[in-house]
Amino acid sequence: MQETQLTQLGRETKAFASPEEAVLERVPNPHPDTTYLVRFAAPEFTSLCPVTGQPDFAHLVIDYAPRDWLVESKSLKLYLGSFRNHGAFHEDCTVAIGRRLAAELSPHWLRIGGYWYPRGGIPIDVFWQTGPSPEGLWLPDQGVPPYRGRG
């Protein structure tokens, strides 16, 4: 098992001012020889509209099939929280998160679903993935209903 230096887990950690400053940490995958799915749901993700400065809200679902690394969950929460004062369109936020995780983890496969609450009366949902899912991977539905108040 590879050693890793965690700087956030189990320590008091201040919020990051921007996604660029945020540190994503990873830990060794204890089952690198097994194809399995890891899911993170962030039902209260927020960022700012780059035009109006008003808050935007989304329910993010991140699925990935790890290879050698797992994302450390506290660092992921802090990274996602760093978008709170970040101005970017829905598409940019969703794809940037997916790409950053893929770059840090080098998973077999990763996808992100950004289910955004309406802006101007229209919900904008954004989906990105690294490619086809691995054969034999159990891939449950992301569980977020089409917009009807997103109950």
Q: Which residues are catalytic, by number?
A: 49, 56
Instruction: Identify each DSSP E strand in the chain by its residue range.
Output: 26-28, 38-48, 55-65, 69-71, 109-116, 125-129
Per the listing, tokens 């997103």 go with 150
Helices (H), the chain: 73-81, 90-105
Closest CA to 144 of 114, 102, 122: 114
The two three-digit tokens of residue 23, written as one number: 């540190």
Question: Are the beta carbons of 28 and 4 closer than 8 angstroms?
Answer: yes
Closest CA to 61 of 119, 149, 121, 139: 139
Count of all residues that appear for the chain in the document: 151
The two three-digit tokens of residue 32, written as one number: 């690198």
